[in-house]
Chain A
């Protein structure tokens, strides 16, 4: 496994604004869409993807991080359209699209609209569907710290990763990102009833990865995705909550690398 693979940062200019992209490795293109609380930079998970033979492409979604805000965007589908344009602009083919949480919601919307460049879809604790019984944890009713803490499998895992006190730039990231999240999914919060009916004709092989202790998006959503999609399977990751990429980076990278099976 690579210790710290080299990566580059660049801006990709689209008509809708500049998209900031981190990129490293030279293998199978894997595009990773971050959580609602923003892209935390280059992660061990991205190194692990490269180590497993991927070219990891990690954009800040439009309106998040260093990517320009599309002030007109009103729902995650708008974000998905721009990400699809980004994949076009980068001329990526046979992409494995990995969506984390809210990024999974965007990835699912993208796949229903424009699956032609996708080889696989990996939805990790993905939002997007209204849980049958439960609720998606509403960050708007929680402090930043509490919400992120709930995203880990337990408080110890949170502290081990974030530390006792989140650094100022991390808090800034969370705060900045929440505003954009509110702009596109304040209500309904984190789901779209117009997504599920479109999943039935989305034939890209899909892996639904759920942390065993995900307290943000209920596991039933994995089953709902599986039921709605014609070609999907579920993989549950032990010792992980909602942020599988932070808690089990190697394991998640291996799942992505091994999917779909030849």
Chain B
């Protein structure tokens, strides 16, 4: 099993007025950066890097980064920069980018070069994922939404070719054109860094990932829809002539551990506080559905079962493909639960407690979804550095060792144990030899 750590690196400014319930408008993409404090930003960037170094010390296999734009809920506007720093200041953990937003890159050759440099500086510890981005990203970097999926696919094909095909060569595609592709920096890993695909409910993307045998990372979706999405992955894999396994399944979920149940609840409640974050279910942030669902960004009738639950879908930032919901009326939305934290702990959207109470819940998740890779989403929302450090210590002393034991018992192998690009049979002799 591969165990990773994740936080969105929220911009936590108690003085900003959009941190917690202060009455200021929390509408996504309606908040000005006029109150941004770079000195606070400096503290936060360094804090989050320090926490990653400590996470590695505590035994995490991977440090996951993500990227969003024009929003306080994620400071990773230039994720690759953080990755480059981690490449130098960490020693062992994989640096897992989930992911670069391909459609917003007008020059993906730059991206291929950046990632190759990161892979070399880290001596082959880069895992590179690709995403399509939300409407927020298309607006912020002004990428044409109807071509999002085309650009995603072409940029991917181009980057893999730039990494693997001896240059110079010419690329004349639909959206990208190069007369001289010959990047001097090539990835450390051969043939290139592992590619994992994070996502939520785009059926296109799950299908595409399965066709490429890329591990698919379900991002904090509810348990049953997650299971169904992986079943769809398995079906596509079967059509492609291979059997998908735990090495193809990854799951991000919110887990915080603390010294007492009281501290765990206090810190756990902070998941739903902090800056506006439509990706943190129950957060006070409000999305603008017509931006989140820009025209042509997501094809109609092409959604995974996650969409059946309106509440979950809304919290994920894609309220609905239905027009009435696009208009922001959300007539179908149920009234908000009385206590969003309790509600989420009950359905295991948030797991927070002492190791004794957290470990059985994590086990339930592993048994239900059977992933070979997990990421603990922690230290987010309004959680302080101290909150995060307490959790990381207990992850290291209790949770990670316990999860490793149960993953052996449940036979949950990650993509560094079984190569997702090869058939299980191909790996069998090597495993036998290793035993």
Which of A144, A168, A171, A182 lies in contact with B296, CB distance below 8 A? A182
Instruction: Decide if B323 touches A175 in the complex (CB within 8 Å).
Output: yes
In angstroms, how far is the closest chain B Cβ from the Cβ of A190?
A: 14
Q: How large is the interface on B (under 10, 10 to 19, 20 to 34, 35 or more residues)?
A: 10 to 19
Among B138-146, B182-190, B378-386, the one that faces the other chain is: B138-146
Instruction: Decide if B144 touches A186 in the complex (CB within 8 Å).
Output: yes
Alpha-carbon gap, A174 to B323, bound state (A): 10
Instruction: Decide if A187 touches B295 in the complex (CB within 8 Å).
Output: no
Q: Report the nearest A residue to B143, measured CB to CB.
A: A186
Q: Which residues from B are CB-within-8-Å of A144?
A: 290, 323, 326-327
B324 close to chain A: CB less than 8 A: yes
Q: Report the nearest A residue to B144, measured CB to CB.
A: A186
In angstroms, how far is the closest chain B Cβ from the Cβ of A14?
A: 22
Which of B139, B290, B294 lies in contact with A143, CB distance below 8 A? B290
Chain B residues 137 to 157 lying within 8 A of chain A, measured CB to CB, are: 139, 142, 144-147
Task: Tell me whether A178 and B295 are in contact in the complex, defined as CB-CB below 8 angstroms, given that A143-B290, A143-B326, A172-B323 are known contacts.
Answer: yes
Alpha-carbon gap, A172 to B327, bound state (A): 12
Q: How many A-B residue pairs have CB under 8 A?
A: 48
Instruction: Decide if B295 touches A175 in the complex (CB within 8 Å).
Output: yes
Q: Which residues from B are CB-within-8-Å of A168?
A: 323
B168 close to chain A: CB less than 8 A: no
B328 close to chain A: CB less than 8 A: yes
Which of A140, A141, A175, A179 lies in contact with B326, CB distance below 8 A? A175
Alpha-carbon gap, A186 to B294, bound state (A): 11
Instruction: Decide if A181 touches B295 in the complex (CB within 8 Å).
Output: yes
In angstroms, how far is the closest chain B Cβ from the Cβ of A77?
A: 16
In angstroms, how far is the closest chain B Cβ from the Cβ of A30?
A: 30
Contact with A along B285-328 (1 / 0, CB 8 A): 00011110011100000000000000000000000000110111
Q: Which residues from B are CB-within-8-Å of A142?
A: 290
A145 close to chain B: CB less than 8 A: yes
Contact with A along B266-289 (1 / 0, CB 8 A): 000000000000000000000011
Chain A residues 151 to 208 lying within 8 A of chain B, measured CB to CB, are: 168, 171-172, 174-175, 178-179, 181-183, 186-187
Q: Report the nearest B residue to A175, measured CB to CB.
A: B323
Instruction: Decide if B323 touches A182 in the complex (CB within 8 Å).
Output: no
In angstroms, how far is the closest chain A Cβ from the Cβ of B173?
A: 14
Instruction: Decide if A143 touches B146 in the complex (CB within 8 Å).
Output: no
Instruction: Decide if B291 touches A183 in the complex (CB within 8 Å).
Output: no
In angstroms, how far is the closest chain B Cβ from the Cβ of A178?
A: 4
Instruction: Decide if A187 touches B144 in the complex (CB within 8 Å).
Output: yes
Instruction: Decide if A143 touches B328 in the complex (CB within 8 Å).
Output: yes
Q: Report the nearest A residue to B323, measured CB to CB.
A: A171
Listed in ascending order, the chain B residues whose CB lies under 8 Å from chain A are: 139, 142, 144-147, 288-291, 294-296, 323-324, 326-328
- What are 20 A-to-B residue pairs whose CB atoms are below 8 Å? A142-B290, A143-B326, A143-B328, A144-B323, A144-B327, A168-B323, A171-B323, A174-B323, A175-B295, A175-B326, A178-B295, A179-B296, A182-B145, A182-B294, A182-B296, A183-B146, A183-B296, A186-B144, A187-B142, A187-B144
New A-B contacts (11) at CB < 8 Å, excluding given A143-B326, A182-B295 = A143-B290, A168-B323, A171-B324, A171-B327, A172-B323, A174-B323, A175-B295, A182-B146, A183-B144, A183-B147, A186-B146
